[in-house]
A = this chain, B = another copy of it.
Amino acid sequence: MKVVMSVPELETFLDREFPEMHQGGKTMFVEHVQDGEIVMRFKADERHLRPGGTISGPSQFALADVASFVAVLAHVGPVALAVTTSANINFLRKPSPGDLVATARVLKLGRRLVVIDCEIAGGTDGQLVSHAVATYSLPG
């Protein structure tokens, strides 16, 4: 499983193809790419917070979806048309305030289907806050 896009290439592609992702200010950043895995940081702002400073479930889902999509891109190249077909997420504990860091790992890289495992860790303690598995369909 070879990575075929670098961090700057991924950032440029996302900015160009999915400008709506950054509406209201950019919050998600590709931090690291290696064979089989990418890391993404989410700097939440008020839009994503629930009372008590915790990051809402749907915002965690959005992070898992973007990080998993970036993991697909990083391994198949700039295919804007990869489509999420299903996702499963378990919310494990309330994140303490602070950034969330998503680590997305390729479980299967098929010709038509890609399966990604995504762990989201949070806050200053780095504890696991949620875990998702997402499936992507490739065109053609």
Contact = CB atoms under 8 A, between A and B. Distances in A.
Contact of A107 (B57, B92, B112, B115): B92
Contact of A133 (B49, B65, B131, B135): B131
A89 interface: yes
Contacts of A115: 86, 90, 92, 131
Interface string A39-83: 000000011011100001110011001000000000000000001
Contacts of A137: 112-113
Interface string A70-110: 00000000000001111111111100000000000001100
Given A20-B49, A58-B58, A135 B92 contact: no
Interface string A119-138: 00000000010010101010
Contacts of A112: 112, 137
A83 B84 CA distance: 19
A101 B23 CA distance: 24
B20 A50 contact: yes
A18 to B, nearest CB: 8
A117 interface: yes
A117 B65 CA distance: 19
A78 to B, nearest CB: 15
A124 to B, nearest CB: 19
